[in-house]
A and B are shown apart, each in its own frame.
Chain A
């Protein structure tokens, strides 16, 4: 089943503004992860939040997790043109020695200088 549905699908903001992306998932998770992808390239891991955590920070990134609503949000503060990329959430499910890592469709962020 599809996990990690992000919204919005596309977001365009000015440099210096904050960008918020949301993600919903469907089943119980071990953790939820956010990734970034520049056009046509591989994904780069940004931040991981465990199911027993509610908020996590890394530099200009802030991630929240609400397991009761099965949702997460990624906030990028003081955005820069270099933040332009697609952002994906991925849920790490329970089960198996590694569990599945299931991605959503992503949010395409455009930061204008």
Chain B
């Protein structure tokens, strides 16, 4: 266990559904990240929050909407996804500036 918990572990959703991924950390970290991992592609950094403020958005489509209500929780709200959005979505957190990241186990998302 890394101290970062993601739920659900698996999610199957239709293209018209709305769902949310949840990430929780109680490591006292002040930065949280969402990554997308597709087959045969590098991990793609989607969003970065530092001290609950979004500091990075790597041109992610608006059908992905992040929310960081406090330093311990991070959500990724999903709506009208496409089949190519099927992937492993990983949440991570880090503490002091420029230190290592701690990852959750990921949510395996399948869009049908």
Contacting A at CB under 8 A, from B4-24, are: 4, 6
Q: Is the CB of A44 within 8 A of B2?
A: yes
Residue tally, chain B, CB below 8 Å to A:
31
Cα A4 to Cα B43 with chains together (Å): 11
State whether A45 touches B100 (Cβ < 8 A).
yes
Determine if B102 is an interface residue (Cβ-Cβ < 8 Å).
Answer: yes
B51 neighbours in A (Cβ, 8 Å): 97
Q: How would residues 40 to 56 of chain A score, 1 for a CB under 8 Å from any chain B CB and 0 otherwise? A: 11111100100000000
Partner of B48, one of A40, A44, A98, A105: A98
Residues of chain A with a CB closer than 8 A to B56's CB? 96, 100
- Say yes or no for A16: interface residue by CB 8 A criterion: no
Interface residues of A (CB under 8 A from B): 2, 4, 30-31, 33, 35, 40-45, 48, 88, 90, 92, 96-106
Give the interface of B toward A (CB within 8 A): 2, 4, 6, 31, 33, 35, 40-43, 45, 48, 50-51, 55-56, 88, 90, 92, 94, 97-106, 108
The 4 closest A-B pairs by CB, nearest first: A42-B103, A103-B43, A45-B100, A98-B31
